[in-house]
Chains A and B, each alone.
Chain A
Amino acid sequence: MKVLLSWVREFVDIDEPAEAIGRKLSLRGLPLEALEPMSDDALMDFEVTANRPDCMSVAGIAREIAVVYGLPFRAPHSAWPEAGASPSPAAAPPIRISIEAPDLCARYVGAVADVTIGPSPAWMADRLNACGVRPISNVVDITNYVLLELGQPMHAFDHARLAGPAIVVRRARAGETLRTLDGKPRALAADMLVIADAERASAIGGVMGGAESEVSASTRRIVFESAWFKPQSVRATSRALGLRTEASMRFERGADLTAPAVAMARACELLSQLGAGTAGPLLDVYPARHQPAVLFLAQPRVEGLLGMHVPDAEIVRILEALGFGVEPVPGGWSVVAPGWRVDMHRDVDLIEEIGRHHGFEHLPATFPGVQQAPAPSDPRIARDARARRVALAAGFSEAISFAFIEARHAEPFQGGEAPVALANPLSEKFAVMRPSLVPGLVGAVSHNRRHGRRDVQLFEIGTRFSARGETRAIGLAWTGLATPDHWSGGRRDVDFFDMKGVVEQLASLFDVEISARAPAEGSVAEAVLVPGRAAVLVSGDRSIGWLGQLQAAIGDAHDLPANDVVYVAECDLDALSAAVAPARMTTPLPRFPAAVRDIAMLVDESLSAATVRGTIRSKAPSTLVGVTEFDRYQGKGIPDGKVSLALRLTFQSLERTLTDSEVEAATTAVVDLLTSELGAVRR
């Protein structure tokens, strides 16, 4: 709200410079947004919060200043004639006003005036200009001047253009249209309030006047309007029409039911002051008079809520200065809110007024007492922190990406399901909620690669969205070298098993045993990963995630440099934590030594390690406690289509030390098993 200091001074004798006023009001709920010094004046722009429509006026700001500085406020109505005062003898005849929609218009004050249209005097035009309102003509300028001064929107109709002549406040008729002052034709809906003449709509109530009844240079007689319109109705109409005006902004926040007559008196006074015309009687249609809210303020409640002591006299001073009626009653006060304080519903609203004008700077700093032990925190926080530690230790840096991504980036990761799309996205880039963390990570890898990074390892822990709801996952992406460059050599690009190792560590963190399988047809892993370098991860029959080499086409879509090899993985943290076995008791350390035997077996190259291990596990002697693949060799000395698989077998008994011959027998049993079951040959 832009106000001129000189204008404010018509309501309160404030000597402070504008800057000081601004600083002080900023601490009382009216932050000064901008200050424009002028030759012998200042334009102050205050930010007014949505609950304070009364401060969208010079008088409202002046009242706050008066309270802050403890100065008297010259109430606007004291200077002007009472509503309904007797008209001057030359006054124009009245007009018939009827309110057919009293639920949307609680009060309508009209006045007919004979006018001579011309320019406004310089002082008025200058004030309007300074506040960003273009002067048009004396009559129109008066309506804008009163709006700025008192916050009450007004309108002027050309009397000659009103059929009847009559003012009818009613809902729009089906199919009714109106060309508004901005020249645009508007289709009106049946729930919109219009100000009509005897025949058709001539204004949209509280939003904008119509072009047909607009005051023009040839206008000789006008009808001034000063009314009260229901906030919800004005807001809905304004939104539906996409039409926000100075009037609608004030009505939708709640206008003062007592203001229309005061504003009309002020407009008529200005009319005669400017020599622009003479008004007839104020016609006040006010079917149900405003019943001011009476609130009980319990004295102990003030300190009880604020935690600071405010003396009773100060409480009364603040409320009265703000225009409240205050009556002492047992235990507190009975408080009547003035008409312009539409935000007063409960005692806390009064306490806020007391607190802010007494000064929040007087608040002591205390602590809330603890009555009981805190309830446990969301277990996901500690869980995610553990997963984060594993990823960081494995060299991955933490990424945070927008949860909405492009539809084309999401599509391959949806597993054939519909995406969770936004109805009103900011742009195509943010169209759907991510079904996976990997698209965002690939985008981030691409960004880093295009900015000169060779090795990129990123992870993100975040929410994935599907029609079934939200799941929390960790996604990983890795491109470049497997380990940092070192002078000793060992330079190697990241491969499938680097990424699989990280995922295995994640699973072991949760003490969950996972196994890898080739992805099923139609799965996300199949859709986004290179065939033969793709795996889905399961624990029992629970799906945990997937990993593998990203398909080039997916990288291309994110502008990843061509030929970049990126390994990606995603693990469902919710599924992982659900798969956690109950906490285990420790087992005693073995008292007898273990025996280790290495065997090398020639097997078909198509045979998976999991099959070999599974075969051994299925029928192994009970003393076999461990099987590890420690070498896999193809090439010289190995027949085509075969592979030499070296296995380390660990045997141990809890009861005694195994003899050499027992270990040998057990090893032979394993070899025989592989030979008979899988056609393996010992090398």
Chain B
Amino acid sequence: MTTIDPSIGTDRARAIFDEELAGVASAAALQELRNRWMARSGSWVAAFMDLIARATPDQKKALGRGANELKKHVEVALADREAALSATRRPAGAVDVTLPGRAPRLGCRHPLSLVREEVGAIFSRLGYQVLEGPEIEDDYHNFEALNMPAEHPARDMQDTLYLANPLTPASYAPPTRGLAPRAPQPLTLLRTHTSAMQIRQMERHDPPVRLVAIGPVYRRDNLDLTHTPMFHQVEGLVVGRGITLADLKGTLTSMAAALFGPATRGDESARSGQAPLVRFRPSFFPYTEPSAEVDIRCIRCGGEGCPMCKRTGWLEILGSGMVHPAVFEYVGYDPDEVTGFAFGMGIERVALLKWGVEDIRLFYENDLRFLEQFGR
């Protein structure tokens, strides 16, 4: 500790004080420091006062100002440190607040369930009714009423899983319109698409119709990176007077924006509305005419081309079209009175794109290391 020597001047003394203060870690050490600098006698401040008393009148003024500044500095610094020290003091019964809390366990959502819920919410907001339906179906509702009568080549497009023994429907409400058999049909197959549900709904309700059907569907596809024999689908159907293909485009554009967020909007030109979010490519489905496959602007590169979109700038996401007049005839709607659009989208496909999952089988392994990545 430096000997008290006012002859070194107030600036040097101030530096010494700051150094000594920095070493203070307890209230006792602080009190000691206070005595050494501020006590009435034998302290640094007292020594400076003595010096001033002994000085010549013309030295007094300068010396007095320096000593006063030093005194003020010491007082303030001591008070600050005292406050800081008392703040870290642990009161009786104190806990270590840095230890981990006792968190109740919270489960994680399944990504497919998240997408399913999100799509349902988007279409609820657009005024759609959200339906689910039976997973075991009869041939009429899964195929025939969708313009795929027996021996129709398009049945090959969806390799079907059949029941070993057909079931009899547990409850049965005959359709009120259309060409459907009035007697209950044997349930022979696992639905290959949720379109069956749309037929059931139209058979019982007058147009207009505005619905999405969501749920698991089944096809005889071997397990690989992009196929599972069970997957989830959402299908939309809007029927009414004057419904057009352009209405479908608007609807799917807003769905894509809601589902994939600003990423879909891509670069500046896309944001300013120059480039469309969705693209229709002519295609073929037996139950729609015209039919179109729909691509969305790549959510990773915004359309410039990247490995995810195979350098095309577009991601294939769903099949759609204008409801085939034959389907309206099957359900007893007049194709000259109403038109409608329909679309079908794979929930897994959305999840794969949305989160960059590379193997579809992960969705069915229920590995917690995977599920925990989707938050709670």
Contacts and interface: CB of A to CB of B under 8 A. Distances in A.
Interface of A: 26-29, 31, 49-52, 231-232, 235-236, 252-253, 304-308, 346, 348-349, 351-352, 355-356, 360-361, 363-378, 380-381, 385, 388, 391-404, 418, 420-426, 430, 433, 444, 447-448, 451, 453, 456-459, 462-463, 465, 467-470, 483-484, 486-488
Contacts of B127: 370, 373-374
15 contacts: A29-B284, A52-B284, A231-B153, A304-B244, A306-B246, A349-B289, A355-B245, A399-B110, A400-B110, A401-B364, A403-B230, A404-B218, A424-B161, A468-B170, A470-B134
B144 interface: no
B339 A304 contact: yes
Nearest to B165: A421
Given A50-B157, A469-B169, A400 B132 contact: no
Contacts of A403: 135, 216, 218, 230
Contacts of B253: 365
B107 A394 contact: yes
Interface in B151-201: 151, 153-154, 156-157, 161-165, 167, 169-170, 190
Which has the most chain A C-beta neighbours within 10 Å: B218, B244, B245, B282? B282
Given A308-B246, A372-B208, A348 B322 contact: yes
B60 interface: no
Contacts of B238: 368
Contacts of A397: 107-110, 366, 368, 371-372
A487 B102 CA distance: 9
Contacts of A351: 289-290
A468 B187 CA distance: 11
Given A352-B291, A378-B132, 11 more contacts: A305-B290, A351-B290, A355-B245, A360-B279, A361-B276, A364-B250, A393-B104, A403-B135, A424-B220, A448-B367, A468-B170
Interface stretch (B32-40, B49-57, B63-71, B112-120): B112-120
B349 interface: no
B245 A305 contact: yes
B107 A391 contact: yes
B271 interface: no
A348 B281 contact: no
Given A421-B165, A447-B365, A360 B281 contact: yes
A402 B230 contact: yes
Contact of A398 (B99, B104, B108, B251): B108
A367 B376 contact: no
Contacts of B365: 444, 447
A425 B284 contact: no
A112 to B, nearest CB: 34
Nearest to A375: B129
A483 B339 contact: no
Nearest to B278: A365
B163 A423 contact: yes
B247 A368 contact: yes
B357 to A, nearest CB: 14
Interface in B338-363: 339, 341, 363
B132 A381 contact: yes
Contact of A426 (B105, B163, B216, B222): B222
Contact of B102 (A374, A426, A486): A486
Nearest to A382: B130
A399 B366 contact: yes
Interface in B202-240: 205, 208, 210-211, 216, 218, 220-223, 228-230, 238, 240
B15 interface: no
Nearest to B229: A426
B105 A483 contact: yes
B161 A377 contact: no
Given A306-B246, A393-B106, A400-B363, A486 B100 contact: yes
B136 interface: yes
Nearest to A420: B163
A451 B367 contact: yes
Which has the most chain B C-beta neighbours within 10 Å: A352, A388, A391, A394? A352
B113 A31 contact: no
Ordered nearest first, which 3 A-B pairs have the shortest CB separation?
Answer: A307-B246, A307-B244, A395-B105
B21 interface: no
Contacts of A369: 240, 242
Contacts of B369: 451
A337 to B, nearest CB: 14
Contact of B135 (A423, A426, A463): A463
Nearest to A452: B369
Contact of A29 (B129, B165, B244, B281): B281
Contacts of A231: 153
Contact of B103 (A375, A459, A484): A484
Interface string B243-262: 11111011101100000000
Contacts of A367: 247, 250-251, 254
Contacts of B241: 371
Which has the most chain B C-beta neighbours within 10 Å: A26, A29, A306, A351? A29
Contact of B167 (A374, A394, A404, A469): A469
Contact of A487 (B100, B161, B240, B243): B100
B210 to A, nearest CB: 6
Nearest to B201: A375
B309 to A, nearest CB: 14
Given A305-B339, A375-B129, A488-B102, A366 B247 contact: yes
B324 interface: yes
B31 interface: no
Contacts of B364: 400-402
A297 B238 CA distance: 24
Contact of A444 (B157, B276, B366): B366
A550 B136 CA distance: 29
A346 B325 CA distance: 9
A421 B163 contact: yes
B107 A396 contact: yes
A615 B153 CA distance: 70
Contacts of B30: none
Which has the most chain B C-beta neighbours within 10 Å: A29, A49, A377? A377
Contacts of A483: 104-105
A392 B368 contact: no
B308 interface: no
A398 B253 CA distance: 30
A307 B241 CA distance: 12
Nearest to A459: B107
A306 B249 CA distance: 10
Nearest to B213: A378
B244 A378 contact: no
B246 A366 contact: yes
A462 B276 CA distance: 38
A400 B112 contact: yes
B240 A422 contact: no
B208 A467 contact: no
A231 B104 CA distance: 65
Contacts of A467: 165, 167
Contacts of A346: 289, 325
Interface in B70-117: 99-100, 102-110, 112-113, 117
Nearest to A368: B247
Nearest to B126: A367
Contact of B170 (A364, A400, A469): A469
Given A305-B339, A451-B369, A388 B113 contact: yes
A374 B120 CA distance: 14
A465 B165 CA distance: 13
Contacts of A306: 244-246, 290
B284 A355 contact: no
Nearest to A26: B281
Contacts of A372: 208
